[in-house]
Amino acid sequence: MKLIVAGGGTGGHLFPGISVAEEFVSRDAANEVLFVGTERGIEARIVPQLGMKLETISASGVRGKNGSAQIKGLFLFMFGYSQSRQILKKFRPDVVLGVGGYASAPLCLAARGMQIPYFIHEQNAIPGLTNRLLARFSNKVFISLEESQRFFPAERTLLTGNPLRQSILELVTAEDSFPSVAQGNEFRILVFGGSQGARSINQAMMAALPKMSALKERVSIVHQTGKNDLTEVADAYAKSGIKSTVLPFIDDMAAAYRQADLIICRAGATTVAEVTAAAKACIFIPFPHAVDDHQRKNAEALLEHDACLMLLEQELSGERLAAEIEKIMAAPDRLETISRNARSMARLDAAKIIVDEMIGTKGTGHVR
């Protein structure tokens, strides 16, 4: 069978698609997957690195843009739609999965026009505009969190969770997964700001470092900064004397999760799903400008079960962050409770359910 995974832009959309692709090819060596995204999305770098196939199309958003940018967005959409038809004619997929992000709309709608079944996956508690529109015509909508059910037609919506990559799923059986601080080991902190890094987390951490001098001998920090702040953040760590590794992007997130006792990060949906599987205690700092404040809602879904800590951006300061780190370091039992509660919220079979559903739908597509 052949599958197209459409969409991406950021890691939060792309990586669930990669998880489904991994599951799909594992079912049958003859299965084929093609990703369709945009040239400026994260997929342009990551998909070829993984040895998977990618085609790019033109696409951009229209929400929140002014008149001329909207017209440009519509023009790009129409061009992307025609490119999508060409791709569909050439690759002849049995099914299409839209994972959100700009490229998923033209490709999924072109698939509908050619009577190829398409499905969508929504990662967030509050869905984006693309998925709300695509849900109207999709065979089924896969959702990650119960909270998003109300936005979609009940009879065609299935709660699956957020598909996790094989490397992340392997963390579930890792024995070293729970915090090691109780044994008096070095306390290892992972700081990252979603797939692109987060300037305000970088700044808060830089401001926190001078206030962490009493912890200096006991902590080590891995900090992902994104492209822009790398040098500035690396300098701040060097000055602080705290053992650290500072990187613009982490290729092997499974390894980064595995070694962490505490994680400080944004609350993007895929991050949230991954840290539950990894059974890690997190201080979530939701991105306050995410559409409909969905990152806060993603974090609150865990907070209700005492499965994370949360700091809102308006409460964020170096002082506060340092105090929170110190507090949790002094309470290993609390750290472990949060980690275990996080694990209890993990949904591990999303990719399997999604692939089962998709291959169970006999394609009625006829590619003209």
Ligand X SMILES: CC(=O)N[C@H]1[C@@H](OP(=O)(O)OP(=O)(O)OC[C@H]2O[C@@H](n3ccc(=O)[nH]c3=O)[C@H](O)[C@@H]2O)O[C@H](CO)[C@@H](O)[C@@H]1O
Q: Which residues are annotated as a binding site?
A: 10-12, 124, 165, 195, 250, 295
Q: How far is the CB of 1 from ligand X (least distance, A)?
A: 25
Only one residue has tokens 């896969």, namely: 142
Query: Of the candidates 195, 148, 166, which has an alpha carbon nearest to the alpha carbon of residue 350?
Result: 166
Closer CB to ligand X, 91 or 119, in the complex: 119
* Euclidean distance between CA atoms 263 and 244, whole angstroms: 14
Closer CB to ligand X, 10 or 244, in the complex: 10
Q: How far is the CB of 175 from ligand X (least distance, A)?
A: 22
Q: How far is CA 22 from CA 26, 93, 99, 300, 359, in A?
A: 6, 16, 15, 30, 14
Closer CB to ligand X, 83 or 124, in the complex: 124
* Euclidean distance between CA atoms 89 and 212, whole angstroms: 59
Distance of CA 204 to the CA centre of its chain: 22
Q: How far is the CB of 162 from ligand X (least distance, A)?
A: 8
Closer CB to ligand X, 17 or 80, in the complex: 17
In the chain, the amino acid numbered 267 is A
Closer CB to ligand X, 91 or 257, in the complex: 257
Closer CB to ligand X, 2 or 132, in the complex: 132
- Sheet containing strand 309-310, strands side by side: 243-247, 219-224, 187-192, 262-265, 281-284, 309-310
Chain residue whose CB lies nearest ligand X = 268
Q: How far is the CB of 12 from ligand X (least distance, A)?
A: 2
* Euclidean distance between CA atoms 303 and 297, whole angstroms: 9
Chain contacts with ligand X (rule: CB under 6 A) = 10-13, 15, 100, 123-124, 192, 194-196, 224, 249-250, 253, 266, 268-271, 274, 287, 290, 294-295
Q: How many helices (H) and strands (E) does the chain have?
A: 14, 13
* Euclidean distance between CA atoms 355 and 27, whole angstroms: 9
Residues marked as binding for UDP-N-acetyl-alpha-D-glucosamine? Answer: 10-12, 124, 165, 195, 250, 295
Q: How far is the CB of 185 from ligand X (least distance, A)?
A: 24
Q: How far is the CB of 174 from ligand X (least distance, A)?
A: 16
Length of the chain: 368
